[in-house]
Structure 1
Amino acid sequence: MGGPNLEIFKFSLYLFVPILALVHFGDPAWYRDNVLPYKEKLFPKETLDRKLPANQEEVKAELARIKARLREKAEERRREQNKD
Structure 2
Amino acid sequence: MGGPNLEVFKFTLYLFIPIAALVHFGDPDWYRQNVLPYRDKLFPSEERTNQRIPTDQSGVREELNRIRMERLAKKAVRDAEEMK
SS at match of 2:49: helix
- Name the CA distance, whole Å, in 2 between partners of 1:62 and 1:37: 31
Q: Mapping of 1:30-41 within 5 angstroms?
A: 30-40=30-40, 41=42
Q: TM-score, normalised by structure 2?
A: 0.60
Superposition CA RMSD, Å: 2.8
Q: Where does residue 47 of structure 1 map in the other structure? A: 49
- Name the CA distance, whole Å, in 1 between partners of 2:37 and 2:65: 30
Q: Which runs of 5+ in 1 are unaligned?
A: 77-84
Give the number of equivalent residue pairs. Answer: 71
Give the superposition deviation at 1:54. 5.2
Match for 2:52: what amino acid? K
Q: TM-score, normalised by structure 1?
A: 0.60
Match for 1:10: what amino acid? K
Give the superposition deviation at 1:18. 0.7
Q: Where does residue 12 of structure 2 map in the other structure? A: 12
Q: Deviations over 1:42-68 (max 9, x none)?
A: 2422215x4233544432232234455
- Name the CA distance, whole Å, in 1 between partners of 2:15 and 2:55: 51
